[in-house]
Chains A and B, each alone.
Chain A
Amino acid sequence: MLEIRELHASIGDKEILRGVNLTVKPGEVHAIMGPNGSGKSTLSSVIAGREEYQVTSGDVLWDGKSILELAPEERAHLGLFLGFQYPVEIPGVSVSNFVKTALNAVRAARGEEALDASSMLKKMREALQLLEMDKGFLSRSLNEGFSGGEKKRNEIFQMAMLEPRLAILDETDSGLDIDALRIVAQGVNGLRSAKASFVVITHYQRLLDYIIPDVVHVLLNGRIVKVGDKSLAYALEERGYDWIKKEVE
C-alpha cells in the first residue's frame, strides 16, 4: 500500500534522504532503526507532507499513486497517520474537541456524515479503555501540561480514533517508562489487523519486544542499508551500529 522509491529529500541545502526504498504491504509492521541523524524523522515528515522538506527526486506512492503533490490533510484523509515524536500543545482545545474535529474532518473528506454524539462518545470510551486512560483526560487541553507518557498515549489514542490504514510512529517509545511502553504497545497491538499497517521508528530494540515487527530496516546516512527480521533488532541492540557502518563501507 505504501511504496517509497529512491526518495531523495533535503532541508535547505542539506540532503538528508539519499535514495530510500521501502515497501509496506497491508497488515505488515515495519521497524525502522538507526542512529541519531540518520534521517528517520525526516522520512516520516516527508511522507506526511511537511513543507520545509524538499523532495528532490524519487516518489512516495499510496496504492500505486504518488502522494507528493497532496497537502498534509489530504494524505491524512487517505488514511495516513503520523504519531509525533514531539506532540504540540494546543491550549484551550480539549482532547475530545480536537479528536472530534479531526475525525469529522476526515469523514467529511471521504463523503461520510459526521459521527453523532453518542457514537463519538462510545468510540472515545473504547479507545480510552484500550490505553488504560481515565475519562477526565478528554477534557484536558491538548498536550498542555501532559507528561511525556501522556503525550505519547494521546497520540495512540488519536490513532485508535482515526483508524488509519498506515500509521507511522516516530520514536513513540522515547521518554517512556516500562509501564507506559507496555500500554502504548498494547494500544498498537490492539489495532493490528489485516488492513492496518505500521511503520515503527525507534532507536531501541525494547519497543520491538512488545510490537513484533515483520521487517526491520536499518537507516544510515539517509539510506536503508540493511533489511532483516526481528533478530536484526537484537543484533543492533547487542553490537550497536558500528559493524553495519563497516559493512556498508
Chain B
Amino acid sequence: MSQDELLQEVTATDYKYGFYTDIETDRMDAGLNEDVIRRISAKKMEPQWMTEWRLEAYRIWLEMVEPEWANVNYQKVNFQAISYYAAPVKKQINSLDEVDPELLKTFEKLGISLNEQKRLSGVAMDIIVDSVSVATTFKKTLAEKGVIFCSMSEAIQEHPELVKKYLGTVIPRTDNYYAALNSAVFTDGSFCYIPKGVRCPMELSTYFRINEANTGQFERTLLVADEGSFVSYLEGCTAPQRDENQLHAAVVELVALDHAEIKYSTVQNWYPGDAEGKGGVYNFVTKRGICEAYAKISWTQVETGSAVTWKYPSCILKGDYSIGEFYSVALTNHHQQADTGTKMIHLGRNTKSTIISKGISAGQSHNSYRGLVRMGPRAENSRNFSQCDSLLMGDRCGAHTFPYIEVKNSTARTEHEATTSKIGEDQIFYCQQRGLNMEAAIALIINGYAKDVLNQLPMEFAVEAQKLLAISLEGSVG
C-alpha cells in the first residue's frame, strides 16, 4: 500500500454517533424577532428583567455584523430559518424511570447510559437535550455542601440574585455577534455556584446534545467559584447526523473569585459532516473566565467534531498572582475547519499563563491556532509560555498558526514555541515491525503527541478522549 492509499484508508471513517432520537418535542416555528424572544422567555416563565435583558441583547445583535476574520469558509447561516426553541414535551423528571426510553437508548449508544454514569465514580450530570435539562442527579450531595448545580432556567427562577449579579459580566452582550445572539435566545444551559471555601466533592458533568433538525443550540453556562473554592467541570458533546448544517453558538462564563480555582474540561465530537464535507455542526462558541487575585482557571479541550469550529476559551487575569491555563487538542479530518485557540489577558501583577495547543490535521481539513497574549501596563512580572504544535497527516490538509502578542509592561515576559510535524511512514513502519497494526500505530503516535493535554483531563475523560482521537482517524469504527 502506498502512503497515499494508507492515509486514505486511515482517514476515511464514518461518524459513530450519527443517529436521531425520535422523541416528542415542543418546537417553535423558524424565525427570529422580538416576539419570538418574548415567547421563549414566556415559555420559560422568566421574570421581567430577564426578558428585558434578552431583548436588549437582540437589539445589540441587530446592529452587529457577522465576523469574517476567522480562517474558515462556510455557507452563511440564515438566522430566519432556525427554530429557536425545542423542548422535549415530557419534562417533569423525578427519577430515571420517567426519562423517555428513546432518550435513554440514545445515551446508551453514546456509551454514557445514566444508570452506568450514576454508579460510576460519583459524576453528577445535568443533561441537556435540545436546550432543556431533563435530568439532574446527585443534587442532594451537592446541596449538603451548599453547591448549586442546576439548569440555567432553574437558576433564573431559584437564584435570581446570583444570575443577575454575574450573567454577562465576563462576556457582555456587546462582546461579539454570536455572544449577543446567544444572550437574546439562549434556551438553557448549566448554572453552578460553589460557596466560599468549598471544594466541590465531585466532578460536575454535563453532556450536551443537539437533537432536533434545524434547531440552533444556544446554551448559556455560568460557573461562579466563590473565594477559596474549587470545582472541576466536564462538558462532553455529541450530535446526531444531519444533512443541513446546524448552528451552535454557546456562551460559557466562568468567575473565579479570590483564591478560587476552576478546571473546565471539554470533549467535543459533534457531527463533523460526511467525507465530502456535507453537513455538520457550526460551532461558534464564546468561552471566557475571569480570575480575581490568586485565582486560577484551567481550560482543557479535546475537539474532534463539528464542520466549522470557532472557539477561543480565554482568561482575563484581573487579580494579582492569578493563573490562566489552556490545554487543547484539536483534530480535523475530511473537510473540517477549525479556528481555535485562546486569549490570555494579563491585567494584574505577577500573573501567569500557559498555553499548550496541539493541532492534528488529516484529510482535506484546515486547522488553525489563533491566540492572543496581552500583557497590560500593570502586569508587572507577569509571564506567559505558549507552545503550539501542529501535526499533519497526508499532503492535502493545512495547519496554520496565528499568534498575537502584545506587551505593554517591560517586566513582563512571554515565550512562544511552535513546531510542525508529520506522522511519518517511518514511525508507522517502526510500530508495525514491533507488532502493532496500522491503526494501533496511529493511535499510539497521536496519543503520544497529545499527551501533555490528555494528562490534564480527569482520568475517565482522558480514556474517552484517547479513544475518540483514535476513532476520529481510524478506518474501522467499532
Which chain B residue lies CB-closest to A142?
Answer: B448
CA distance A77 to B2 in the complex (A): 22
B435's contact among A73, A90, A93, by CB below 8 Å, is which? A73
A91 and B449 within 8 A (CB): yes
Contact of A50 with B429 in the complex, beta carbons under 8 Å: yes
Would you give the 0/1 interface string for B445-464, flagging 1 where the beta carbon is closer than 8 Å to chain A? 10111111000000000000
The answer to whether residues A51 and B434 also contact, given A88-B427, A90-B448, A93-B444 and a CB cut-off of 8 A, is no
What does DSSP make chain B's interface, helix, strand, loop or mixed? helix
Question: Across the interface, do A48 and B426 meet the contact criterion of CB distance under 8 Å?
Answer: no
- Count chain B residues whose beta carbon lies closer than 8 angstroms to a beta carbon of A: 25
Assembly CA distance A141 to B450 (angstroms): 13
The complex places the Cα of A158 from the Cα of B430 at a distance, in Å, of 12
For A81, what are the chain B residues with a Cβ–Cβ distance below 8 Å? 433
Q: Is B437 an interface residue (CB 8 A)?
A: yes
Contact A105 B451 (CB under 8 A): no
Q: What is the distance, in angstroms, from B389's C-beta to the closest C-beta of chain A?
A: 9
B101: Cβ under 8 A from any A Cβ: no
A48-B437 Cα distance, complex, nearest whole Å = 14
Tell me the complex Cα distance, A243–B164, Å: 93
A76 touches B448 (CB 8 A): no
User: A82 near B433 (CB under 8 angstroms)?
Assistant: yes
* Interface of chain A residues 149 through 171 with chain B (CB within 8 A): 158, 162
Interface centre among A52, A72, A89, A105 (most CB of B within 10 A): A72
Q: Among residues 97 to 119 in chain A, which have CB atoms less than 8 Å away from a CB atom of chain B?
A: 98, 101-103, 105-106, 109
Task: Give residues of chain A (45-87) contacting chain B, Cβ–Cβ below 8 Å.
Answer: 48-52, 71-73, 75-77, 81-82, 84, 87
B432 at the binding interface (Cβ < 8 Å): yes
Q: Mark B411-449, 1 if CB is under 8 A from A, else 0.
A: 000000000000011110111111111101000110111
Complex: chain B residue closest to A104, CB-CB: B435
| A73 in contact with B432 given A88-B424, A88-B426 (CB within 8 Å) | yes
Contact B440 A101, beta carbon cutoff 8 Å: yes
* 8 Å CB interface, A113-163 against B: 141-142, 158, 162
Beyond the given A72-B432, A81-B433, please list 14 additional residue pairs across the A-B interface where CB-CB is below 8 A: A50-B429, A72-B429, A73-B438, A88-B430, A90-B431, A92-B448, A93-B445, A98-B434, A102-B431, A105-B435, A105-B440, A106-B435, A142-B448, A162-B434
Interface positions of B (Cβ within 8 A of A): 1-2, 424-427, 429-438, 440, 444-445, 447-452
**Which 6 pairs, one residue from A and one from B, show the smallest C-beta to C-beta distance?**
A92-B448, A93-B448, A102-B434, A92-B451, A72-B432, A106-B435
Q: Supply 21 A–B pairs (Cβ within 8 Å), ascending by A.
A: A48-B433, A49-B432, A50-B429, A52-B425, A73-B436, A76-B433, A76-B434, A89-B427, A90-B427, A90-B430, A90-B445, A90-B448, A92-B448, A93-B445, A98-B434, A101-B436, A101-B440, A102-B434, A102-B435, A109-B435, A142-B448
